[in-house]
Amino acid sequence: MIESISIKKYIAQYFLENSVQPITETVNQIVQTLSANFINDETVFVKSKEMTGRILSSYQGTYIVGLHYENKMETDKILYKDLMRRDQITKNEVMNYLQNITNETPFGRILKPNILSDLSQRNKSNTNNLKKTPQTTEYREQIKKHQSRIRFPKQAINKKSPIPAPQVVEQLKIEKPKRILVDLMNNTDSFFKSLNGKELDICGFKGENVGLLLEIFSFFNFFGDQISVPSFTIEELASSFSEAEYESKIIFLIHSKLLKILVNERKKHGRDCIKTYIEGALDICKIETDAAAPNIGGFKRIQWFSGDMTHSNWKTYIKSFIFDVNEVYGLQKIMSFKEFSLEKRRKSQSMEFSVKDRLLFVKFLIECVIFSNTVRDIVSKVLDKLKSLEKEKYELSVNVRKHRNDFKEIKTEEEKIKMTEKIDEISERLKDLDVEILETRYRADLGSYKGAKFYRIEKKIFYFYESTYYLLDYAGLSMFLRRIKPGNRTETILSSGLRHIQEVLLLAKEN
C-alpha cells in the first residue's frame, strides 16, 4: 500500500498530464520513473547515517536532503545509491491507487474531484504534526548557509557549446535536409500541407457544416442501437439534410427518437428538468437571441409530450415543442432555429432552406438528451464495459510479460512451442481489446494542434484546418506523430490518443 503523500501527489499529477493513454502504460511509466528516482518532498532513509530525511532537490543522481540533528536542521548532498525509499512501489499498488482516485467516462478515465487538493491538505496536516520535520523556511535557511558546500560543479551550468559549422560537402548534405525539416515544422501552413490530407467532400458539405455533420453522425453511430435508430452511412445522413422536403425516414427517426427521450424525461422528472436541459444545450451550441426571428405559426398546436409521433405528424410535434420552449419556458433563443418557423413561407415563396440551421437544431436536441437520465444510464453501462475491458487488458498484459520471462527458463523445445502458442494467443486478444476500447468511446473531437482540430469517426481520422476538413490516411498520421511536439497538456492528450488509434489502424492494415 502506498502511504507517502508525496508519491500519491506525483501519481495523480502524472495521470493528469497523460490521462488519454492506456492506464497500463501510465502505470508502467510511473513505476519505471519511481524505480530510478526519488521525488521532491519525499521522506527517505539515509543508509550511512541510519536516519530519515526529506528530499529538497536533485541533480543527476545527487540529492539535497534535509536532516534533523538534535533540534538542529542540516542539509547534505547524498547519492542515489545511499538512499532508500520507505514504500516499495509495485505495479499492482500503483494500479490499485489509480483506480481508486479515477473514474471511467465516455471520454476516457478522469481524476475524481478534489484529489490533489485533499492530498495537499493532508500533506500540510502531516507536516504540522511531525515534531522532527523541518519547515520549508528552515530548509531554505540551511541551503543558503551551506550553499558553498553543496554547490553543483561549474560545468553543469555552463551554456551549451554552439554546433560547429560543417566544413565538408558530405556534412552539408546531412545538415541541409535537417534544416528543411525544422523550417517545415515551424511553418504551420507547410506542415499541414505536407501531411497530404485528402480534402473531405461529403455530398458538397463545406466548412462548419462538415464538423456538425461529423458530430451528429458520431452520436448516432454510437447511441443509435440503444435508442432504436437503425444504422446509416454518413453520406446517407448528409443527403437527408440536403433534401428540400426534409421528410426522409432518417430525418424523421432522428427528430422523433430524440424528442421521445425528452418526453420521457418530462414525465419522470417534470417540466423544470427539461427547461434546465434546454438552457444548457442552447449555451453549448452558442445560440443567441435573434430579434428578427419570425414567430412560429401556421400549424395546429398539440401537446408535444403526449401521443405518438408518426412520419406524417412529427413536424407538428417539433413545432409545438419549439412553441412551448419560447412561450411557456420563456427561452426566446429557440426561435433562432428557423427551419420549422419558415417552412410554410419557403414553400409558398420558393425560399432556400439552410442546411446549417437544420444541422444546428439536431445538434441542439442531441445536447439536450446528453443531460438526460436515459443517456446517463447508457453511459453507465459503457463505463462498466470500459472498466471490464481495461481490467482484462491489464491482467493479460501482466500474464504475457510473466510468460515471456518464464520462456527464458524453458529448456525443452516442446515446452517452448506451447509457451509461444500461449503468448501469441494472449497477444491477439490484447490487439482485439485495443480495438474494443477505442470503439467503446463515442466522442468525435480528439483535440487541436497549432490551430488544426482533429476528429475520429470509427477508424478514420479527420482534421479541420483553415475552414477545410481533411481525411488523414495512415501514412499522414504516422508523419504527423513523428513531427508533433506537444507544447501543453491538451496537445499531449491529442498525441497520446492518436498513437492509440495508430496502433489500431496498423492492426487493421495487417489483417
3-state SS track over 416-462: HHHHHHHHHHHHHHHHHHHHHHHHHCCCCEEEEECCEEEEEECCEEE
Determine the average pLDDT of the residues in 294-305: 80
* Of 50 and 469, the one with more pLDDT: 469
Identify whether residues 147 and 61 lie together within a single domain.
yes
pLDDT in tens, 321-368: 999 998 888 898 888 888 887 665 555 555 567 899 999 999 999 999
Identify whether residues 141 and 271 lie together within a single domain.
no
Identify whether residues 43 and 122 lie together within a single domain.
yes
Identify whether residues 187 and 321 lie together within a single domain.
no
Question: What pLDDT score was predicted for residue 459?
Answer: 74
Position 231 pLDDT exceeds 70: yes
Position 279 pLDDT exceeds 60: yes
The Cα 281–Cα 369 span in angstroms is 9
- Residue 406 resides in a domain: no
* Of 480 and 320, the one with more pLDDT: 320
- Residue 141 resides in a domain: yes
pLDDT in tens, 402-418: 888 888 888 888 888 98
Which range marks the domain in which residue 448 is found?
172-201+444-511
Question: What pLDDT score was predicted for residue 480?
Answer: 83
Instruction: Count CB atoms within 10 A of the CB of residue 206.
Output: 14
Q: Name the percent of the chain lying above pLDDT 70.
A: 77
DSSP string, 14-32: HHHHTTTS-HHHHHHHHHH
DSSP string, 360-428: HHHHHHHHHHHTSHHHHHHHHHHHHHHHHHHHHHHHHHHHHHHHHHHHTT--SHHHHHHHHHHHHHHHH
Position 1 pLDDT exceeds 60: yes
The Cα 140–Cα 150 span in angstroms is 13
Identify whether residues 242 and 180 lie together within a single domain.
no
Please count the structural domains in the chain: 3
Identify whether residues 226 and 366 lie together within a single domain.
yes
pLDDT category of residue 155 using cuts at 50, 70 and 90: very low
Question: What pLDDT score was predicted for residue 68?
Answer: 72
Lowest mean pLDDT among 188-202, 244-258, 411-425, 456-470: 188-202
Position 443 pLDDT exceeds 80: no
For 280-309, letters b (16+ CB in 10 Å) and e give ebbeebebeeeeebeebeebeeeebbeeeb
Helix (H, G, I), strand (E, B) or coil at 316: helix
DSSP string, 331-350: -GGGGG--TTTSHHHHHHHT
Position 146 pLDDT exceeds 70: no
Position 439 pLDDT exceeds 70: no
- Residue 510 resides in a domain: yes
Identify whether residues 44 and 89 lie together within a single domain.
yes
- Residue 87 resides in a domain: yes
Amino acid at 266: R
- Residue 380 resides in a domain: no
pLDDT category of residue 185 using cuts at 50, 70 and 90: very low
Q: 123, 107, 96, 101: which is closest to 15 by C-alpha?
A: 101
- Spatial contact of 39 and 10, defined as CB atoms under 8 Å apart: yes
Identify whether residues 242 and 111 lie together within a single domain.
no
pLDDT in tens, 289-299: 877 776 776 77
- Residue 463 resides in a domain: yes
- Domain closes at, from 325, 343, 371: 371
Rg from Cα positions in the chain: 30
Identify whether residues 300 and 279 lie together within a single domain.
yes
Identify whether residues 211 and 326 lie together within a single domain.
yes
- Domain closes at, from 371, 400, 415: 371
- Residue 145 resides in a domain: yes
Instruction: Count CB atoms within 10 A of the CB of residue 398.
Output: 14
Question: What pLDDT score was predicted for residue 507?
Answer: 59
**Residue 290 corresponds to which cell in the numbers above?**
435573434
Identify whether residues 472 and 499 lie together within a single domain.
yes
Question: What pLDDT score was predicted for residue 448?
Answer: 81
Q: What is the 3-state secondary structure (H, E, C) of 131-197?
A: CCCCCHHHHHHHHHHCHHHHCCCHHHCCCCCCCCCCCCHHHHHHHHHHHHHHHHHHCHHHHHHCCCC
The Cα 278–Cα 256 span in angstroms is 17
Question: What pLDDT score was predicted for residue 238?
Answer: 94
The Cα 279–Cα 319 span in angstroms is 18
- Domain closes at, from 341, 371, 401: 371
Helix (H, G, I), strand (E, B) or coil at 311: coil
Determine the average pLDDT of the residues in 134-150: 50
- Residue 397 resides in a domain: no
Identify whether residues 137 and 179 lie together within a single domain.
no
Q: What is the mean pLDDT of the chain?
A: 78
Q: Cα 170 to chain center, whole Å?
A: 45
